[in-house]
Structure 1
Amino acid sequence: MALTAEQIKNIGIAGRVTSSFSILGTITIISAFVFSRHFRSPIHRIIFFNSFFNLLDSVATMISVSGPETGDYSPICQFQGFALQMFPLADVLWTLAMALDTYLVVFHHYDAHSLKKIEYKYIGSITIITFIPAIVFLFIRSSTKGPVYGNETIWCSISPNWLVLRFALYYGPVWLAIGLIIICYALIGIEITRLRDEFKLTDDENIALTSNVPNNRFVPEQSQASVTTTIETNSSDATKLPHTSESHITSSSSVHQVVTSHPLTSNSTPMNYQSPKQRRVSFKQYILMPALFFLALLATWVAPTINRVSTFINPDYQSYSLLIAVSSLGSLRGFWNGVIFTTIGMKGWKRHVIEKNILNRNGRRLHC
């Protein structure tokens, strides 16, 4: 059954409203990253890069039903089709990049500097993978099928006449990437479960990750005085702890406190020992945040995929409620990214402020 003009209008309104939320979320991400150093972890950086893709994606979804209304060959329809081919797929690949970062942290002990070195590879590969087919489709025409980008009721994208192409080079790569993300998180979950003694959730919601590198130098936990040492969240190079003064080892990632004690007299007898060769990985930044982005990704892609499978089975099938869901959820990518980015980032910032206050108090006590 064909949609009425009123229904199409409602679909357009829903798409534009949710697109405006996404634009607001994207601007929030960019602003927080630029103006606050507390949003500079490797995962935050990936979200920041992705936000520019999200912004152009939101511009395309903001056009909404106006694209099909101008005709398949119009510049507006072709631009919308190009944008909706490239940028939603890029969003999925950036989520895969977050999963790969988490995998590298857990299995290969990558630190913030190591992760930063591979960011240009993410930027280059994701841009090339998504841009090439999107730009090529602009020049494909057929006397029987028309252009690749055409009327899809709620916006312009790969038209129903090119449905096989849409499955092969759009939904196929999307769900392949989602499958790889699931595999990454499954392996990470298995590894954390298997190494319970090495991965421990602590009170400040960090994972203590032992590097398994032999170290003959041990630090006693109990003595007559204590010294506060701040170690960068995921640095594998912090192998030595100071004896007599406060030390800071920092980088672009979050910092968390490890309070250890050192004997100030030669007669003190150590009772318990711990290896200083230990890294603390932020559970929220490296596991929880990417996992939430993945869940938001699934919520975004389920409705469009159901709609596409339905039209593949029955080309004449159109569901008003399903198209409303596709238009709304498909336009919320930037919004969900902004919510997760700021919510978890603010909690990390508050934790940093608390730890800084504790560090200052410990420093004053030590001087006294």
Structure 2
Amino acid sequence: MTLSAEQLHVLAIVERSASVLSILGIFTIIGTFCFSRQFRNPIHRIIFINAFYNLFDVTATTISLSGPRAGNHSALCQFQGFLLQMFPLADVLWTLAMACDVFLIVFYKYETEDLRRLELKYAVGITTVVFIPALTFLFIHTPEKGPIYGSVTLWCAISPKWVLFRIIFYYGPIWLIIFITFILYGLVGIEIIKQRRMLESISNDYLDLDTMGSAADTLHSPETIDAEMAMAAKEARGSISITNSVPHMSPSDAIALQNTPRSRSRSPVSFRNYILMPLMFFVVLLAIWVAPTTNRVASLVNPGFVSDPLLLAVGATGSLRGFWNGVVFVTLGAKERRRRNTMKNWRG
């Protein structure tokens, strides 16, 4: 089965329309990060860096069907194939980097400066891992199969004639990374549930890293509780007192703690920005890769399989990565900003 000229025209419109939305989302991330101090934590910086990778990704999806139409041996098709081999995979790896940050925050109490020192390592490692195979594939071709990068209907990527390479160097790594990311978030979730009695401040969207230790450590070291945030939470909720933050802590001890300088200068960490936002990026990532993977599996089972609705879903979701990243970044960040302003007013 082949697609008609009208169906291909609709596919191109869908891809390019979705790509325009992604461009808007990408520039929203870049602009918001540059002009708002509220969007400057380590998670925000990873999203900001990834936005530039997404720009190259959306360049490829904007080329759309022009790549295949130019021919498998054309420079345009090879350029599009290179971009689509390198940058969607980089997007998945940056999502893994966010999960690693969350894991290090929860289990190893990493602070802002600790996470910031990892950013260059992430950038060098991710760029190297995705660049080497993407570049190498430009120079591989055989008389029987032709070049590795060729038409896959929607755009140029690893050609169906090189299907084993597409599994080993594209879909295989992507789903392996997604699985590792899922495991990391699962471990984080289990740890948070285990420590839920020590995390009453989550109801105020704040998670003090110093309270993530064991219950015994928290009882023996109550000075690590953020008294100011606990008292603010009391005002906000009207009924929860600071004594609920640590079992067996008397009201007099809570008052004394509030008036005692903290033993550390560490600031409380936003639950929404440091855990919820990366988790939402992961959920978006899962949604994006369902349609392309379904299409690829169907093609493996039946090499002649072509589904116009499925290709439309692949074109739309594959071109909307930057858009959904922008939506999550701005929506959750704006809520966090309003919450911060509300807390300042309460303290005032």
* TM-score bucket of the superposed structures, by smaller chain: 0.7 to 0.9
Partners of 1:99 and 1:134 in 2: CA distance? 25
Q: Which residue of 1 aligns with 2:275?
A: 287
Q: Which residue of 1 aligns with 2:323?
A: 335
| Paired letter, 1:338 | G
**Alignment partner for residue 302 of structure 2, among 314, 317, 331?**
314
CA RMSD of superposed structures (Å): 2.3
Q: Which residue of 2 aligns with 1:5?
A: 5
Q: Which residue of 1 aligns with 2:288?
A: 300
Displacement, 1:93?
0.3
Displacement, 1:287?
1.3
| Paired letter, 2:310 | L
Q: CA offsets per residue over residues 40-96 of structure 1, 9 Å max, x none?
A: 011100000000000110010001011100000111101100000000000000000
Report the secondary structure of 2:268's partner residue. Answer: strand
2:325 maps to 1:344? no
C-alpha contact 1:205 1:284 (8 A) present in aligned 2? yes
Q: CA offsets per residue over residues 124-178 of structure 1, 9 Å max, x none?
A: 0000000000000000011100000001101000000000000000001100100
Q: CA offsets per residue over residues 248-274 of structure 1, 9 Å max, x none?
A: xxxxxxxxxxx99xxxxxxxx972335
Q: Give the structure with the higher percent helix.
A: 2
Q: CA offsets per residue over residues 172-218 of structure 1, 9 Å max, x none?
A: 11001000011001101111111222233444211244153754869
Q: 1:335 to 1:216 in 2, by over 3 A?
A: closer
Report the secondary structure of 2:55's partner residue. Answer: helix
Partners of 1:309 and 1:148 in 2: CA distance? 19
Partners of 1:117 and 1:102 in 2: CA distance? 15
Partners of 2:301 and 2:229 in 1: CA distance? 62
**Alignment partner for residue 354 of structure 1, among 324, 342, 346?**
342
C-alpha contact 1:200 1:208 (8 A) present in aligned 2? no
C-alpha contact 1:141 1:147 (8 A) present in aligned 2? yes
Q: Which residue of 1 aligns with 2:162?
A: 162
The runs of 5 or more residues in structure 1 that have no matched partner are 222-227, 231-258, 261-268, 362-368
Q: 1:292 to 1:202 in 2, by over 3 A?
A: closer
Displacement, 1:296?
0.5
Report the secondary structure of 1:330's partner residue. Answer: helix
Percent identical across equivalent pairs?
50
| Paired letter, 2:336 | G
2:177 maps to 1:138? no
Partners of 2:204 and 2:305 in 1: CA distance? 52
Report the secondary structure of 1:118's partner residue. Answer: helix
Q: Which residue of 1 aligns with 2:238?
A: none
Q: Which residue of 2 aligns with 1:73?
A: 73
Q: CA offsets per residue over residues 341-368 of structure 1, 9 Å max, x none?
A: 0001111111222233334x2xxxxxxx
Partners of 1:327 and 1:202 in 2: CA distance? 39
C-alpha contact 2:202 2:271 (8 A) present in aligned 1? no
Matched pairs, number: 317
Q: 1:171 to 1:216 in 2, by over 3 A?
A: closer
Partners of 1:179 and 1:321 in 2: CA distance? 27
Q: Which residue of 1 aligns with 2:122?
A: 122
Using structure 1 for the length normalisation, give the TM-score.
0.81
Partners of 2:139 and 2:13 in 1: CA distance? 31
Q: 1:28 to 1:145 in 2, by over 3 A?
A: same
Map residues 1-368 of structure 1 onto 2, 5 A cutoff: 1-209=1-209, 210=211, 211=213, 212=217, 215=221, 271-273=252-254, 276=262, 280-359=268-347, 361=348
Q: 1:289 to 1:217 in 2, by over 3 A?
A: closer
Partners of 1:71 and 1:20 in 2: CA distance? 25
C-alpha contact 1:300 1:329 (8 A) present in aligned 2? yes
Q: 1:217 to 1:342 in 2, by over 3 A?
A: closer
Using structure 2 for the length normalisation, give the TM-score.
0.86
Q: Give the structure with the higher percent strand.
A: 1
| Paired letter, 1:272 | D
Q: 1:99 to 1:148 in 2, by over 3 A?
A: same
Q: Which has the larger radius of gyration?
A: 1
| Paired letter, 1:188 | V
- Which stretches of structure 1, 4 residues or more, deviate above 4 A after TM superposition? 213-219, 274-279
| Paired letter, 2:292 | P
Partners of 1:302 and 1:120 in 2: CA distance? 30
C-alpha contact 1:24 1:335 (8 A) present in aligned 2? yes
Q: CA offsets per residue over residues 221-265 of structure 1, 9 Å max, x none?
A: 8xxxxxx689xxxxxxxxxxxxxxxxxxxxxxxxxxxx99xxxxx
| Paired letter, 1:314 | N
| Paired letter, 1:84 | L
Partners of 2:197 and 2:345 in 1: CA distance? 30
